[in-house]
């Protein structure tokens, strides 16, 4: 049985080249994504068929962004770089990209009210042996976690202002492998 302070984690990626930090994605929100995709893909659902007028592009606002895969995602405008380009943060995936106003639409209220799905996180009790993570450390860690799902036990919840999402938090977690009869804390293997 899982403790109350656990969340499920969709383990798609975790380790970065510089540290053992990344984003966790919460399970159970697939239906909302499917609804959003269907809504924005439907003919006539776009408030601005030619794309968002430049005058409506604002830093700190949520929009629906049509990415290169032709799917719609919730994005937060991080910075307006120039009149025809914006740096956006994909609030459900933890990625950044550049988008033109023609690729953006206003985000309908029912999709703005959903909690963000990409939550910044770092591992508790995991530190580099040297002053920084070596490529071997990163490779070993990736081999331990790749293509596996874990339960993330939350040990701390800290305010985070790096993404621009109001009220966002960074989680400090311990990853637990529950795939066998005996739960294994990932930090004990490192």
Does the structure show a pLDDT above 60 at 29? no
pLDDT band at 42 (very low <50, low <70, confident <90, very high): low
- As a CATH number, domain 6-27+117-189 is 2.40.50.90
Cβ of 78: how many Cβ atoms within 10 Å? 18
Mean pLDDT over all residues of the chain? 78
Q: What is the pLDDT of residue 17?
A: 38
Query: Would you list the domain boundaries of the chain?
Result: 6-27+117-189, 30-112
Which percentage of the chain shows pLDDT scores above 70?
75
The model scores a pTM over 0.85: no
- Does 2.30.30.140 match the CATH number of domain 30-112? yes
pLDDT tens track for 43-69: 446 678 788 888 899 999 999 999 998
- Distance, CA of 146 to CA of 177 (rounded, Å): 12
Contacts of 101 (CB under 8 A, 6+ apart): 51, 52, 53, 54, 56, 57, 84, 86
């Amino acid at each position: 049985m899982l403790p109350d302070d656990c969340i499920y984690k969709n383990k798609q990626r975790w380790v970065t080249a510089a540290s053992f930090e990344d984003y966790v994605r919460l399970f159970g929100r697939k239906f909302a994504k499917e609804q959003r995709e269907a809504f924005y893909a439907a003919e006539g659902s776009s408030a601005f068929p030619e794309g968002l007028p430049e005058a409506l592009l604002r830093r700190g606002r949520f929009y629906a962004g049509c990415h290169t895969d032709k799917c719609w995602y919730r994005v937060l405008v991080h910075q307006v770089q120039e009149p025809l380009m914006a740096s956006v943060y994909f609030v459900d995936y933890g990625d950044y990209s550049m988008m033109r106003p023609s690729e953006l639409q206003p985000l309908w209220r029912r999709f703005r009210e959903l909690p963000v799905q990409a939550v910044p996180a770092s591992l508790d009790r995991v530190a580099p042996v040297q002053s920084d993570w070596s490529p071997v450390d990163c490779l070993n860690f990736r081999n331990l976690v790749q293509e596996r799902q874990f339960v993330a036990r939350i040990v701390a919840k800290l305010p985070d202002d790096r993404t621009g999402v109001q009220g966002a938090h960074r989680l400090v977690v311990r990853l637990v492998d529950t795939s066998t009869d005996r739960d294994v804390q990932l930090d004990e293997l490192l």
